[in-house]
Protein backbone atom coordinates (compact mmCIF):
# COMPACT_ATOMS: atom_id res chain seq x y z
CA UNK A 1 0.00 0.00 0.00
CA UNK A 2 2.84 2.33 0.89
CA UNK A 3 4.53 1.50 -2.40
CA UNK A 4 1.35 2.35 -4.34
CA UNK A 5 1.04 5.66 -2.47
CA UNK A 6 4.66 6.45 -3.23
CA UNK A 7 4.16 5.70 -6.93
CA UNK A 8 1.06 7.88 -7.04
CA UNK A 9 2.86 10.78 -5.36
CA UNK A 10 5.97 10.47 -7.54
CA UNK A 11 5.89 13.24 -10.18
CA UNK A 12 6.10 11.93 -13.74
CA UNK A 13 9.31 12.85 -15.51
CA UNK A 14 8.28 14.80 -18.60
CA UNK A 15 10.43 14.16 -21.66
CA UNK A 16 11.41 17.38 -23.44
CA UNK A 17 10.41 17.50 -27.10
CA UNK A 18 13.32 17.73 -29.51
CA UNK A 19 12.99 20.77 -31.83
CA UNK A 20 12.27 19.85 -35.42
CA UNK A 21 15.06 20.29 -37.96
CA UNK A 22 13.28 22.95 -39.98
CA UNK A 23 15.78 23.03 -42.85
CA UNK A 24 15.30 19.31 -43.48
CA UNK A 25 11.52 19.62 -43.12
CA UNK A 26 11.45 22.51 -45.62
CA UNK A 27 13.40 20.49 -48.20
CA UNK A 28 11.24 17.39 -47.84
CA UNK A 29 8.09 19.53 -48.01
CA UNK A 30 9.25 20.94 -51.36
CA UNK A 31 9.96 17.44 -52.66
CA UNK A 32 6.67 15.91 -51.54
CA UNK A 33 4.57 18.85 -52.75
CA UNK A 34 6.12 18.59 -56.21
CA UNK A 35 5.57 14.82 -56.30
CA UNK A 36 1.90 15.17 -55.35
CA UNK A 37 1.40 17.94 -57.91
CA UNK A 38 2.91 15.94 -60.77
CA UNK A 39 0.88 12.90 -59.80
CA UNK A 40 -2.45 14.73 -59.86
CA UNK A 41 -2.14 17.52 -62.43
CA UNK A 42 -3.43 15.37 -65.33
CA UNK A 43 -6.67 14.28 -63.64
CA UNK A 44 -8.82 17.21 -64.92
CA UNK A 45 -7.86 16.80 -68.59
CA UNK A 46 -7.01 13.12 -69.05
CA UNK A 47 -10.52 12.22 -70.40
CA UNK A 48 -10.16 14.95 -73.05
CA UNK A 49 -6.70 13.66 -73.90
CA UNK A 50 -8.05 10.13 -74.37
CA UNK A 51 -10.78 11.47 -76.69
CA UNK A 52 -8.09 13.26 -78.70
CA UNK A 53 -6.34 9.90 -79.11
CA UNK A 54 -9.39 8.69 -81.04
CA UNK A 55 -10.75 6.36 -78.40
CA UNK A 56 -14.48 5.68 -78.68
CA UNK A 57 -16.64 7.43 -76.09
CA UNK A 58 -17.66 4.31 -74.16
CA UNK A 59 -13.99 3.44 -73.52
CA UNK A 60 -12.83 6.91 -72.47
CA UNK A 61 -13.33 6.31 -68.75
CA UNK A 62 -11.60 2.92 -68.88
CA UNK A 63 -8.43 4.16 -70.55
CA UNK A 64 -8.41 7.39 -68.54
CA UNK A 65 -8.24 5.27 -65.42
CA UNK A 66 -5.36 3.24 -66.81
CA UNK A 67 -3.35 6.36 -67.63
CA UNK A 68 -4.01 7.81 -64.18
CA UNK A 69 -3.07 4.52 -62.47
CA UNK A 70 0.06 3.82 -64.53
CA UNK A 71 2.26 6.00 -62.34
CA UNK A 72 1.31 4.16 -59.16
CA UNK A 73 1.64 0.80 -60.90
CA UNK A 74 5.24 1.73 -61.60
CA UNK A 75 5.85 2.66 -57.97
CA UNK A 76 4.15 -0.53 -56.84
CA UNK A 77 6.69 -2.65 -58.71
CA UNK A 78 9.79 -0.57 -57.89
CA UNK A 79 9.28 0.55 -54.27
CA UNK A 80 11.35 -2.25 -52.72
CA UNK A 81 14.12 -1.73 -55.27
CA UNK A 82 14.41 1.98 -54.49
CA UNK A 83 14.25 1.26 -50.76
CA UNK A 84 17.19 -1.11 -51.19
CA UNK A 85 19.01 1.49 -53.29
CA UNK A 86 18.54 4.16 -50.61
CA UNK A 87 20.20 1.80 -48.11
CA UNK A 88 23.12 1.14 -50.46
CA UNK A 89 23.87 4.51 -52.02
CA UNK A 90 21.99 6.88 -49.69
CA UNK A 91 18.65 8.64 -49.50
CA UNK A 92 19.88 11.93 -50.98
CA UNK A 93 20.87 10.61 -54.44
CA UNK A 94 17.68 8.53 -54.67
CA UNK A 95 15.48 11.54 -53.92
CA UNK A 96 17.34 13.77 -56.37
CA UNK A 97 17.18 11.16 -59.12
CA UNK A 98 13.45 10.73 -58.50
CA UNK A 99 12.93 14.48 -58.88
CA UNK A 100 14.90 14.48 -62.14
CA UNK A 101 12.75 11.63 -63.48
CA UNK A 102 9.59 13.51 -62.50
CA UNK A 103 10.77 16.60 -64.40
CA UNK A 104 11.53 14.60 -67.56
CA UNK A 105 8.42 12.43 -67.30
CA UNK A 106 6.03 15.34 -66.83
CA UNK A 107 7.57 17.22 -69.76
CA UNK A 108 7.44 14.21 -72.08
CA UNK A 109 3.84 13.51 -71.11
CA UNK A 110 2.86 16.87 -72.58
CA UNK A 111 4.09 15.73 -76.02
CA UNK A 112 2.21 12.40 -76.11
CA UNK A 113 -0.09 11.82 -79.04
CA UNK A 114 -1.10 8.18 -78.55
CA UNK A 115 -2.56 6.13 -75.74
CA UNK A 116 0.42 3.79 -75.66
CA UNK A 117 2.91 6.63 -75.29
CA UNK A 118 0.91 8.21 -72.48
CA UNK A 119 0.69 4.98 -70.48
CA UNK A 120 4.34 4.11 -71.10
CA UNK A 121 5.62 7.51 -69.96
CA UNK A 122 3.56 7.47 -66.78
CA UNK A 123 4.54 3.87 -66.03
CA UNK A 124 8.25 4.56 -66.53
CA UNK A 125 8.03 7.71 -64.40
CA UNK A 126 6.63 5.63 -61.56
CA UNK A 127 9.15 2.81 -62.03
CA UNK A 128 12.11 5.20 -61.85
CA UNK A 129 10.79 7.28 -58.96
CA UNK A 130 9.80 6.10 -55.50
CA UNK A 131 10.25 9.36 -53.64
CA UNK A 132 7.04 8.99 -51.64
CA UNK A 133 8.30 5.93 -49.78
CA UNK A 134 11.90 7.11 -49.48
CA UNK A 135 10.72 10.48 -48.13
CA UNK A 136 8.95 8.69 -45.27
CA UNK A 137 12.24 7.07 -44.31
CA UNK A 138 13.96 10.46 -44.47
CA UNK A 139 11.39 12.02 -42.13
CA UNK A 140 11.78 9.11 -39.71
CA UNK A 141 15.54 9.56 -39.62
CA UNK A 142 15.54 13.32 -39.01
CA UNK A 143 12.97 13.06 -36.21
CA UNK A 144 12.72 11.08 -32.97
CA UNK A 145 10.07 9.70 -30.63
CA UNK A 146 9.34 13.14 -29.15
CA UNK A 147 8.61 15.02 -32.40
CA UNK A 148 7.86 12.42 -35.07
CA UNK A 149 4.09 13.11 -34.97
CA UNK A 150 4.67 16.75 -35.93
CA UNK A 151 7.32 15.75 -38.48
CA UNK A 152 5.02 13.36 -40.34
CA UNK A 153 2.36 16.05 -40.31
CA UNK A 154 4.48 17.86 -42.89
CA UNK A 155 3.99 14.92 -45.23
CA UNK A 156 0.20 15.18 -45.03
CA UNK A 157 0.42 18.94 -45.47
CA UNK A 158 2.62 18.55 -48.55
CA UNK A 159 0.32 15.99 -50.13
CA UNK A 160 -2.66 18.24 -49.46
CA UNK A 161 -0.90 21.21 -51.07
CA UNK A 162 -0.03 19.13 -54.13
CA UNK A 163 -3.59 17.87 -54.33
CA UNK A 164 -4.73 21.48 -54.65
CA UNK A 165 -2.00 22.73 -56.97
CA UNK A 166 -1.99 19.77 -59.36
CA UNK A 167 -5.65 19.77 -60.46
CA UNK A 168 -5.65 23.57 -60.51
CA UNK A 169 -2.71 23.63 -62.92
CA UNK A 170 -4.18 20.91 -65.12
CA UNK A 171 -7.66 22.38 -65.28
CA UNK A 172 -6.55 25.96 -65.87
CA UNK A 173 -3.80 25.45 -68.45
CA UNK A 174 -5.01 22.51 -70.55
CA UNK A 175 -5.97 23.30 -74.17
CA UNK A 176 -4.64 26.89 -74.00
CA UNK A 177 -5.44 27.70 -77.65
CA UNK A 178 -9.09 26.96 -77.01
CA UNK A 179 -9.28 28.63 -73.61
CA UNK A 180 -6.96 31.60 -74.25
CA UNK A 181 -7.20 32.31 -77.99
CA UNK A 182 -5.87 35.83 -77.62
CA UNK A 183 -2.57 34.56 -76.17
CA UNK A 184 -1.90 31.21 -77.85
CA UNK A 185 -2.06 31.04 -81.65
CA UNK A 186 -3.63 28.36 -83.82
CA UNK A 187 -1.16 25.92 -85.44
CA UNK A 188 1.43 26.70 -82.76
CA UNK A 189 3.16 24.14 -80.58
CA UNK A 190 0.44 24.71 -78.00
CA UNK A 191 -2.20 23.83 -80.56
CA UNK A 192 -0.43 20.65 -81.68
CA UNK A 193 0.22 19.68 -78.05
CA UNK A 194 -2.79 20.96 -76.09
CA UNK A 195 -1.59 19.43 -72.81
CA UNK A 196 2.02 20.56 -72.96
CA UNK A 197 1.49 23.82 -71.05
CA UNK A 198 0.12 22.22 -67.84
CA UNK A 199 2.82 19.54 -68.07
CA UNK A 200 5.57 22.16 -68.23
CA UNK A 201 3.97 24.16 -65.42
CA UNK A 202 3.76 21.06 -63.23
CA UNK A 203 7.39 20.18 -64.04
CA UNK A 204 8.52 23.53 -62.60
CA UNK A 205 7.75 22.31 -59.07
CA UNK A 206 10.06 19.25 -59.08
CA UNK A 207 12.65 21.45 -60.80
CA UNK A 208 12.49 23.83 -57.84
CA UNK A 209 12.61 20.87 -55.48
CA UNK A 210 15.66 19.54 -57.31
CA UNK A 211 17.49 22.86 -57.03
CA UNK A 212 16.63 23.16 -53.33
CA UNK A 213 17.74 19.56 -52.79
CA UNK A 214 21.08 20.10 -54.51
CA UNK A 215 22.00 22.86 -52.08
CA UNK A 216 20.20 21.95 -48.86
CA UNK A 217 19.32 18.23 -48.86
CA UNK A 218 21.78 16.37 -46.64
CA UNK A 219 22.15 12.64 -46.05
CA UNK A 220 20.56 11.80 -42.65
CA UNK A 221 22.46 9.80 -40.05
CA UNK A 222 20.82 6.40 -39.68
CA UNK A 223 22.67 5.53 -36.44
CA UNK A 224 21.49 8.72 -34.75
CA UNK A 225 17.92 8.12 -35.82
CA UNK A 226 17.88 4.56 -34.47
CA UNK A 227 19.42 5.59 -31.17
CA UNK A 228 16.90 8.37 -30.66
CA UNK A 229 14.03 6.07 -31.49
CA UNK A 230 15.13 3.56 -28.86
CA UNK A 231 16.48 0.84 -31.13
CA UNK A 232 19.93 0.69 -29.67
CA UNK A 233 20.54 3.37 -27.06
CA UNK A 234 17.98 2.86 -24.29
CA UNK A 235 15.73 5.75 -25.19
CA UNK A 236 12.40 3.99 -25.63
CA UNK A 237 9.33 4.71 -23.53
CA UNK A 238 9.42 1.27 -21.86
CA UNK A 239 13.07 1.70 -20.92
CA UNK A 240 12.39 5.13 -19.41
CA UNK A 241 9.50 3.70 -17.39
CA UNK A 242 11.69 0.84 -16.16
CA UNK A 243 14.37 3.29 -15.02
CA UNK A 244 11.75 5.38 -13.20
CA UNK A 245 10.35 2.32 -11.41
CA UNK A 246 13.87 1.26 -10.39
CA UNK A 247 14.48 4.74 -8.97
CA UNK A 248 11.26 4.56 -6.96
CA UNK A 249 12.15 1.13 -5.57
CA UNK A 250 15.60 2.34 -4.50
CA UNK A 251 14.07 5.30 -2.67
CA UNK A 252 11.62 2.98 -0.89
CA UNK A 253 14.44 0.66 0.17
CA UNK A 254 16.47 3.59 1.50
CA UNK A 255 13.48 4.87 3.47
CA UNK A 256 12.87 1.39 4.83
CA UNK A 257 16.48 1.03 5.96
CA UNK A 258 16.40 4.48 7.56
CA UNK A 259 13.20 3.61 9.44
CA UNK A 260 14.65 0.34 10.69
CA UNK A 261 17.76 2.18 11.92
CA UNK A 262 15.67 4.66 13.89
CA UNK A 263 13.66 1.87 15.56
CA UNK A 264 16.86 0.05 16.53
CA UNK A 265 18.34 3.24 17.99
CA UNK A 266 15.20 3.93 20.04
CA UNK A 267 15.19 0.34 21.30
CA UNK A 268 18.83 0.65 22.41
CA UNK A 269 18.06 3.90 24.25
CA UNK A 270 15.18 2.26 26.13
CA UNK A 271 17.41 -0.66 27.16
CA UNK A 272 20.04 1.77 28.44
CA UNK A 273 17.47 3.48 30.63
Question: For the segment 103-135, what is each residue's pLDDT rounded down to a tens digit?
Answer: 999 999 999 999 999 999 999 999 999 898 899
Higher pLDDT, 122 or 262: 122
The per-residue pLDDT for 265 is: 60
Which tens digit of pLDDT belongs to each residue from 42-84?
999 999 999 999 999 999 999 999 999 999 999 999 999 999 9
Yes or no: say if 123 and 71 are a contact pair by the CB < 8 Å rule. yes
DSSP 248: H
pTM surpassing 0.85?
Answer: no
Return the closest-CA partner of residue 114 out of 61, 165, 65, 52. Answer: 52
Residue 215 in contact with residue 27, Cβ under 8 Å? no
Largest CA distance in the chain: 120
Counted residue by residue, the chain has a size of 273
Q: Which of 128, 140, 134 is nearest to 31 (CA)?
A: 134
> What distance in Å separates the CA atoms of residue 77 and residue 130, rounded to the nearest whole number?
10
Amino acid sequence: MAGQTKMADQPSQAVAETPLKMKEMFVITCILTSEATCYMYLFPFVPFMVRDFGIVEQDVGFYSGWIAASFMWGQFFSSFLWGWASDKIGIRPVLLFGLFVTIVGSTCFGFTDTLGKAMTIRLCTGLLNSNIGVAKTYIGLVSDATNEARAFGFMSMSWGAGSILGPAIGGLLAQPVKNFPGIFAVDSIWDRNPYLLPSLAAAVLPLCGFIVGIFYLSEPSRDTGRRKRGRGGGGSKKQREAKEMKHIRLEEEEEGEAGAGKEQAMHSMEEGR
